[in-house]
Amino acid sequence: MNDHQHPVYRWFVAVWPTAGLIAPMGMLVALVSLGNASLGTIGTGALVNLVMVVGLQTFWGNSGVLSFGHVAFVAVGAYSAALLTIPVTTRAFVLPHLPELLANKETSFVVATVVAAVVAAVVAGLVALPMMRLSGTAAGIASFALLVVVQDIASNWSSVTGGLGTLTGVPTDLTLWRAYAWAVVVIVVAAVYSRSRFGKRLRASREDEVAALALGVKVVRERQVAFVLSGAMMGVGGSMYAHWLGAFGPTDFYIDLTRVITVMLIIGGLRSLSGAVVGTVVMSVVVEVLNRWESGQSVAFVSIPVPIGFSNLLLSLVLVLILLRRPEGITRSRELSWPGRKQDVSPAANSVPGG
Amino acid sequence: MTLLQNIITAVSVGGLYALFALGIAVIYGVAGIINFAHGHFIAVAAYLVLALNDVPMPLAVLGALAAGVLTAVATERGVFRFARGADPGTLLVLAFAVALTIESVIILVAGSRTVSTSFGSALTKPIHIGALSIVRIDLVTVVVAAVLLAGLALLLNRTRVGGQLRAAAEDFTMARLVGVRSDLVMMVAFAVSGLLAGAGAVLLVARSGTLTPTMGLDPVLVSFVAVVIGGLGSLSGAAAGAFVLGGMTIALQVLLPEDVRPYRDAILYGLVIATLTFRPQGLLPSANERSRV
């Protein structure tokens, strides 16, 4: 392996897994941008989902602590960003009882997205203080509880969120390429984190919590770091969601969205960034094709009559099968590796059913 | 008199929660699965009540109970049996996936829109006893819950399979070693859970008269809370937790100031997170829950 220690080679090996995800995605985006406007909107939506799935993977995948509550931070991000970019005149109309502080500031999409990330990170940091002490079943239930709490607040804090109704007037200026740019930023951040000492310590605790503790890893602290970072990513996803659709309500950020991003992540492969990306891309394409068949359109000159609602059933069954037969997902939760280089990731024993 | 009336409402709400919470606790105790799909067992049974609208009421109730039991047992035979011994996270996600599958089937068969039925509408009228005005369904709920809880207690404490079930809930591996048939016990646990889901579904439909494919979600979230309060894995704890929760729900509803009242659920679930943080094994943990190094 001595020839393989050359700095340039090592640099290539380091950036390859990330570049190998971003570049083909860029080509896919270029292809989609050639299509009609509705295809572009769908592609943008897929990239919004991608940001959320990568955010979820950053915490769940690296820590092994399950979370069904991450969509709460998407909600925080969406409302934070919307309160900055809805034009002030429109805002006076859709949210007449808004506190003075929030009523008169208008920023660009980019600034609003950064603010959304910061606000979501702060909320995640506060939640992380108690919640990161939990793991397993307790963590799962607590994360559900978090989802319900944020949902309840968003539905009832009418002066700021507009209550249960739809909040309208967000400028729809998230183009396909802008969405791609944000997705690249989030993927790079996730990759850098995952390769950093923080990411490595957290994964060590995922594989064997007791051994990691014995080696001096502060498990709770490492989980908090990942939770805050992934909260920020979910905040970015929320801002993108708001500027993709231009209108949203609290119920957008509940069980349905949780299901979508959870399915994407698990089908792709929970434990790797490649899994998050591949899962999102594959699922977005499959869902879109099934949706078109359901509505009687043809895809690539092929038209298969599918009864309405059938695609959801198919996807749920696939999820059950993947969990039973291949719980590491379609990528087997490996990262892309430099051709010919040996994989250094061994599957975790405790995730195999029946093990 | 309003106090007495509130107490009756609280007991009725608590009784309904107890049926759901026990359905979750019995599966968690034996199989270690936080069964997210329990709400969808409820939904299947409820839709059967809707489908049997024209047959006599006792038959419709029987049909709903059978639907609950069959769905639960089919889930065990078809899915969870192949994942026995997987880690809790995988099992929870698997339960989530099962829930989505059942939901898709319901949508495929009955559509996703809210539907309503007149089943049990006679029960929503109040009866008057002196100054008290009690909705009949509240009384029915209290009676049904009492009967089912007593029946479950008899099953667990007086029958052979009940003893095996308690042994398996205590220590599954040890129970197998001393000759408890794991497949049988697992199936009984799911059947009991399905029966409780069916009974809860009938009461829920009679109460609200409306059905949606996700109608079981809220009851299940509430029961998670009850199970957590009572201590994961403890059956009597789950029932107690449900009644505490029923009381708390009504108390918060009555006592919270007007402008905070909409946030009742946020406060309730915030308390759940706090409880879990300080007592991750619940308030009344069962003895074997702590894993040792």
DSSP one-letter string for B222-273: HHHHHHHHH-TT-HHHHHHHHHHHHHHHHHHHHHS-TTTGGGHHHHHHHHHH
Q: What is the pLDDT of residue A163?
A: 87
**ipTM of the modeled complex:** 0.81
Q: How far is A127 from chain B (nearest CA, A)?
A: 9
Q: The tokens of A298 are what?
A: 């043809």
A7 is a domain residue: no
Q: What is the pLDDT of residue A54?
A: 97
A10 is a domain residue: no
B41: buried, middle or exposed (CB in 10 Å: 19+, 13-18, 0-12)? Answer: buried
A354 → closest Cβ in B83, B262, B265: B83
Task: Work out the angle between the directed axes of helices A273-294 and A176-195 (0-180°, nearest 10).
Answer: 150
pTM: 0.85
Q: What is the pLDDT of residue B293?
A: 40
Task: Work out the angle between the directed axes of helices B182-208 and B160-170 (0-180°, nearest 10).
Answer: 100
Q: What is the pLDDT of residue B1?
A: 62
Sign, Cα dihedral of A13, A14, A19, A22: positive
Residue A309: closest CA among B291, B108, B180: B108
Number of domains in chain B: 1
A16 is a domain residue: no
A116 is a domain residue: yes
Largest CA distance in chain B: 61
Q: What is the pLDDT of residue A347?
A: 46
Residues of B in contact with A153 (CB under 8 A): 263, 266
Residues of B in contact with A68 (CB under 8 A): 96
Q: Is A92 on the interface with B (CB under 8 A)?
A: no
B268 is a domain residue: no
The pLDDT tens digits of the residues spanning B221-242 come to 888 878 877 877 678 888 888 9
Find residues 1-60 of chain A whose CB sits inside 8 Å of chain B. none
Contact across the interface for B276 and A64, Cβ inside 8 Å: no
**Checking DSSP bridges between strand B126-129 and strand B115-116, what pairing results, if any?**
unpaired
Q: What is the mean pLDDT of chain B?
A: 85
B278 is a domain residue: no
The pLDDT tens digits of the residues spanning A2-31 come to 556 788 877 777 788 888 889 889 999 999
B66 is a domain residue: yes
Q: How far is A161 from chain B (nearest CA, A)?
A: 14
- What is the domain range of residue B19? 2-215
More confident residue, B26 or A295: B26
A11 is a domain residue: no
- What is the domain range of residue A63? 25-351
Contact across the interface for A316 and B103, Cβ inside 8 Å: yes
Q: Provide the CATH number for the domain around residue A254.
A: 1.10.3470
Q: Is A327 on the interface with B (CB under 8 A)?
A: yes
Number of domains in chain A: 1
The pLDDT tens digits of the residues spanning B188-202 come to 999 999 999 999 999
**Checking DSSP bridges between strand B132-135 and strand B115-116, what pairing results, if any?**
unpaired
Question: For chain A (length 355 residues), average pLDDT per consecutive 10?
Answer: 69 81 90 88 94 96 92 97 93 86 89 97 94 82 90 91 90 94 96 94 92 93 96 97 95 88 88 92 87 78 74 84 84 71 47 36
Q: What is the pLDDT of residue A348?
A: 45
A52: buried, middle or exposed (CB in 10 Å: 19+, 13-18, 0-12)? Answer: buried
Find residues 137-156 of chain A whose CB sits inside 8 Å of chain B. 137-138, 140-142, 144-146, 148-149, 152-153, 155-156
A175 is a domain residue: yes
Q: What is the pLDDT of residue B283?
A: 67
Pairwise CA distance, residues B293 & B289, whole Å = 13
Q: What is the pLDDT of residue A354?
A: 34
Q: What is the pLDDT of residue B87?
A: 74
B61 is a domain residue: yes
The pLDDT tens digits of the residues spanning B90-149 come to 788 889 889 989 998 998 888 888 888 888 777 778 888 777 778 888 888 999 999 998
Residues of B in contact with A146 (CB under 8 A): 269, 273
Q: The tokens of B185 are what?
A: 């016990």
B117 is a domain residue: yes
Q: What is the pLDDT of residue A337?
A: 66
